[in-house]
Amino acid sequence: MCSPEYFAVEYAINPWMDVTTPVDRDLAVKQWDRLRETLVGLGHEVHLLTPEQGLPDMVYAANGGFVVDGSVYGARFKHEQRAAEAAAHHAFYEAQGWRFIAPGETNEGEGDFAYVPEAHGGLILAGHGFRTEIPAHAEAQEALGRPVVSLRLIDPRFYHLDVALAAIDDANVVYFPGAFSAASQRVLTQLFPDAVIADDEDAMAFGLNLVSDGANVVLNSEATRLAGKLKAAGYTPVPVELAELKKGGGSVKCCIAELRH
């Protein structure tokens, strides 16, 4: 995770960003702290990336890389405003001793990649349509040695896979069908017949931008309907308030890069 110490909405690179809407940075830090404390309270170890002035979106740490089995496929951001973030993430992973694979193709890390380790022997779901380019899917497959399933995003509000789909345990996902092309919806139905299906209200509340340890699902407190669906499916919803960070087009998952050993 990376503190929103320098968080601001200084440009608009997704439909959620409005440069005329003021950001309360102190509140953003307070909400982010609560998220971090929630993860620690659930028994997880949180590593911190040092924020850098001039990179207001660094708080969205999920976009800096994608980690599977101790190997990191690095990010190459689509927009120049975020490009310098990639070097900070690279340095972090190298300092940790992780195997780092530098990208040649445009991709935004866990923004557009999700890993489901026990689905069909270990499956990477990869989004494209707005940020990550399709050639990055093949590059990720070569880098990480896991089959990659390409899913096309068709609604600009769901510009990253992680605002439309999330793994909720080692074999299952939750997703909003309306974010995907008809063919991608059919693929998801085939791969995950028991998936939790979110509706438009869940998705618009950034409910799908969540993290799960297989039992506890940490999600945006606005997504009350989705919390109910997850509870009914046997998970424990853990709501957190992230209204300030939503102004940049992100929520729980965007703030968390998962380190898979």
Residue 68's DSSP bridge partners are 71
Residue 217's DSSP bridge partners are 212, 237
> Which positions are catalytic?
160, 254
Rounded Cα gap, residues 97 and 250, in angstroms:
28
Residues 6+ apart with CB under 8 A from 200: 176, 178
Rounded Cα gap, residues 218 and 236, in angstroms:
9
Rounded Cα gap, residues 237 and 223, in angstroms:
10
Rounded Cα gap, residues 220 and 226, in angstroms:
10
Residues 6+ apart with CB under 8 A from 110: 62, 63, 65, 66, 162, 253, 257, 258
Dihedral over Cα of 251, 191, 124, 15: its sign:
negative
Burial class (CB in 10 A: 0-12, 13-18, 19+), 35: buried
Rounded Cα gap, residues 164 and 190, in angstroms:
17
| Spatial CA neighbour of 165 closest among 174, 157, 177, 154 | 174
